[in-house]
Structure 1
Amino acid sequence: MDKEIFYSDATALAGLIRRRDLSPVEVMQAHLDRIDATNPEINAIVTMADDAMKHARAAEAAVMRGDELGPLHGVPFTVKDSIDTAGVMTQRGSPIFKGRLPAEDATSVARLKRAGGILLAKTNLPEFSYWIESDNLLSGRSNNPWDVTRTPGGSSGGESAAIAAGMSPLGLGTDLAISVRGPAAQTGITSMKATHGSVPMTGIWPRAPRRFWHVGPMARSIRDIALAFSQLAGPDGHDAFSSNAPVYRDRLPFTPSRPLRIGWMTGPGFGPVDPEVAAIVKSAAEALQGPGVMVEQVGIAALERDFALDVFNRIHVMEMKPAFAAATAGRHPDELYKMAKTMLSLPDTSMADFIEAEQAAERLRDGFEAYFAQYDALITHVLPIPAHKHGVDRFVIDGQEVDATYLQGATVPLNVTGLPGIALPFGKSQGMPVNVQIVGKWHAESLILHIASLLEAVSPMRGLHPSL
């Protein structure tokens, strides 16, 4: 029975609790037991919320009293350790913030709690949420539950590993260039980076800059992503980027008002892609073809003119380096890990390069706008390869040698432009999950969630979990 609980999605658990088929206490205990059994090997969970069982008992009492219940009533959730949680340590993967205890929840955490969710634990990440592997001096390295010799990704790698392993049904991650979609792809779960500003970043480091930053839901089903997003979206009066964000309440199902036209591509403009991954993208796109959906291979000229990863790097070094400098000022070098040292050592972007990169970002936005004038969505890969071995920083992909930053080639365009994207498992390569990415125009979350649900229904990965 425990396996049926810890591999059930959040929507199913909420329904079982509401119908009194399961109690919140049983659900919480099953996940606590699962953490005890699997976390020593995976190292996804870094801090437990000590009052989780107390809140589960309170949630059970509310059910028995017949109180009005929120859509996530009694359901545990986990949170990446860069997101503030009141009374539960948020240490950002760095000895500099060891023992840091926030007084308030981040807006995203508060909203999941208001929906009835119960904070279970905090999950691992790279130092300052800043790399494609979840490893740091404070809490060590997280491992992929499909193969512990491989990474679960970064920066939300602890979160992806916890959900994939059944330690949590639902979680929150952050995404600067790859970080909710990449880890989801490496562990075979689902995630969404919504339109920039849709979910407030209040209570998440860094406060500035946050032009490319997002916070988003991670789960094992598209319906859970839709449910979580319905609770997370909308302005909070603090994050100015969220001031014009619509409140999403559609959930699923969603019915398009007309036939859909969907394009798919794996390049050019994303960098090299492994042929097996490219074939999975093609098969996912072809699976959508049918009544009411027209699918064809496409190209986007703007991505070929301006390589989004290069554009991103020139802008964000200029913007992020001061944040790193402020956080590490006066600290001993032994308190800094790889990426803080790397960021601080990078040469400043010249003003001329910065201005050109800003203009390139505008060209990319215009290019996607032109694409979405003709198409409703875009299907791409998330990563050019499946989850890689720990510590690898150079790869040969389709005959081309590249550094590790190239893994962000298909994800970072959505951070530069602010467009929404969903990561969804749709196959395997080297025995590891491979996800596809569904991209929509600004604030088209309802549509891309609908498309993702269609793909989920026919995915070869449906119902598969790591054999832990």
Structure 2
Amino acid sequence: MKDQSNSNNDPIYYQEATTLAKLIRNKEISSVEVVQAHLDRIAEINPRINGVVTLMGEQALKSAALADKAVSSGEELGPLHGVPFSIKDAIDTAGVPTKRGSKIFEDFIPEKDATVVTRMKNAGAIPLMKTNIPEFSAHWESDNLVTGRSLNPWNPDRTPGGSSGGESAVIAAGLSPIGLGSDVAISLRGPAAFTGISALKATHGRVPYTGHFPQALSRFWHIGPMARTVRDVALGYSIINGADGIDGYGIFAKDAAPATFRIPGQKIRVGWVSDTAFGPVDPEITTAIKATAKLLADVGCDVAEVRLPFMENTDWLTPYFNLVYGELVPYMQQYTRGRESELHFIGKATMDYPLLNAAEYVKAEATIEKLRMHFAGYFQEYDVLLCPVNPMTATGHGLNEYIVDGKTVSAYHVMTATAPFNMTGLPALSVPVRLSSETLPINIQLVSRWFDEATILALGEKIQTGSEAYGKHPIN
């Protein structure tokens, strides 16, 4: 691995999406050159990481040529005009296969684009590829019987995560500058952390879910932007958020504002926590959180270590996944019945999950509602929570257990610090900050009160640009 600065000295495929858009707009580079550079990169690198499911190269070059004509003729240009983007293969693309990580859907071709895809296109961005996922997006690693296993560009023996694992891998390795992923427990922020990029899970309902599979669990799913920098994630979010009139949860206007409990002129109040709430946590990750807390104090935040008593010695994952599978399994039976032999082990494990009876389901629902109230109380006292994303760096493939800080934990432990913010619908941002002693990425997570994405995006950009990881890439 060779470190490279995050500047205009980087090759085209490692430039930020915002930079590429500016260069195209100023006629310093053509959209065709940008798309071709990424196609060349895909041809070279994708065999090593297996992140691409469907490549739209020919159409992307045609769209790029049209984009260049629009620049030459002085037409009004969108914020991502001429810039290619990638799309998780659970998100619909009109006329382009959306395989959903399953042999059951490998021939499925949607008639309409998902709302978020339409919005990216309307902003001038050019669809370049669909990216790999686990079957039904129902796992924390990206592997399936249709397109196989995605590998982490920092170390192929490690996973890039799931379910947006193909997306995180292609962005980290320079195959795409910006993309669309989704998250029901970990699937934006976790893969971003395993590959050293950024991702935002906005307040639930901020970004329309229209055109994402599965339709079940839409009250917990979030679609969001992924990119190598927080700056690009912020741009992607500004494009895709806002009600679409279709998604019954996506009812909020772009300018929907948060409630605030901060006195005018008061510093941003940041509480940080690691092991006591989400432990065990890799000590190197805790060290990164402490360093980030110091950086935030240095830039003027009011920072304090906090305790979250309601997270300590409490299993929130079990009731949450009882709800998730309790809704997912009955929904998926309409597709899997009679085709069980075509399922990957992920799909089989999903469909074999033991379901609750009605009383148990209601109890699980009530438990999750308590968590929402607990965090509402926290955000009366603080504006931001700084915490881990994953409690460990990128793990090996197919493991059922991990050893974290000398303790053996279930593989589900990878979601301990991410799933709570799906349960509650709080916005959460994954930010790369450094590399571990194994040269694996370490990210931190910023969480804010509902509808306050602006605060964590602003802080996230300051953190990233001041971090040891800024401008470092996994593959030459």
Bin of the TM-score, shorter chain as denominator length: over 0.9
Residue 346 (structure 2) pairs with residue 339 (structure 1): yes
In structure 2, the residue matched to 1:70 is: 78
Q: Aligned with 1:272: secondary structure?
A: coil
In structure 2, the residue matched to 1:348 is: 355
Q: Deviations over 1:23-42 (max 9, x none)?
A: 10010010000001100111
Tell me by how many angstroms 1:245 deviates. 4.6
Residue 299 (structure 2) pairs with residue 299 (structure 1): no
In structure 2, the residue matched to 1:384 is: 391
Amino acid aligned to 2:227: A
Q: Aligned with 1:140: secondary structure?
A: coil
In structure 2, the residue matched to 1:226 is: 234
Q: Deviations over 1:317-339 (max 9, x none)?
A: 211111221221221x3310112
**Length-normalised TM-score, structure 2:** 0.94
Q: Deviations over 1:371-401 (max 9, x none)?
A: 1101110111101110011122211212321
Tell me by how many angstroms 1:301 deviates. 2.2
Q: Deviations over 1:393-438 (max 9, x none)?
A: 2112123211111100000000000000000111222210010000
Percent identity (aligned): 48
Distance 1:109 1:24 in 2: 19
Conserved 8 A contact 2:94-2:112: yes
Q: Deviations over 1:130-160 (max 9, x none)?
A: 1111110000011111111111110000000
Conserved 8 A contact 2:256-2:451: no
Conserved 8 A contact 1:267-1:299: no
Amino acid aligned to 1:387: A
For 1:6-405, list aligned pairs within 5 A. 6-49=13-56, 50-247=58-255, 258-290=266-298, 292-304=300-312, 306-331=314-339, 333-405=340-412
CA RMSD of aligned residues (A): 1.6
- Summarize the Cα distance change of 1:304–1:39 in structure 2 as closer, same or farther, 3 Å threshold: same
Q: Aligned with 1:360: secondary structure?
A: helix
Residue 384 (structure 2) pairs with residue 415 (structure 1): no
**Length-normalised TM-score, structure 1:** 0.96
Distance 1:219 1:233 in 2: 16
Conserved 8 A contact 1:324-1:343: no
Conserved 8 A contact 1:185-1:383: yes
Conserved 8 A contact 2:172-2:195: yes
Distance 2:366 2:296 in 1: 35
Conserved 8 A contact 1:270-1:307: no
Distance 1:184 1:84 in 2: 22
Structure 2, unmatched stretches of 5+, are 1-7, 258-263
Distance 1:315 1:246 in 2: 30
Conserved 8 A contact 1:197-1:245: no
Tell me by how many angstroms 1:211 deviates. 1.2
Amino acid aligned to 1:153: G
In structure 2, the residue matched to 1:448 is: 456
Distance 2:412 2:450 in 1: 26
Conserved 8 A contact 1:233-1:248: no
Q: Aligned with 1:141: secondary structure?
A: coil
Distance 1:63 1:4 in 2: 22
Structure 1, unmatched stretches of 5+, are 250-255
Tell me by how many angstroms 1:290 deviates. 2.7
- Summarize the Cα distance change of 1:156–1:248 in structure 2 as closer, same or farther, 3 Å threshold: farther
Conserved 8 A contact 2:275-2:286: no
Tell me by how many angstroms 1:304 deviates. 2.6
- Summarize the Cα distance change of 1:262–1:450 in structure 2 as closer, same or farther, 3 Å threshold: same
Distance 2:212 2:348 in 1: 21
In structure 1, the residue matched to 2:445 is: 437
Conserved 8 A contact 1:426-1:459: yes
- Summarize the Cα distance change of 1:213–1:291 in structure 2 as closer, same or farther, 3 Å threshold: closer
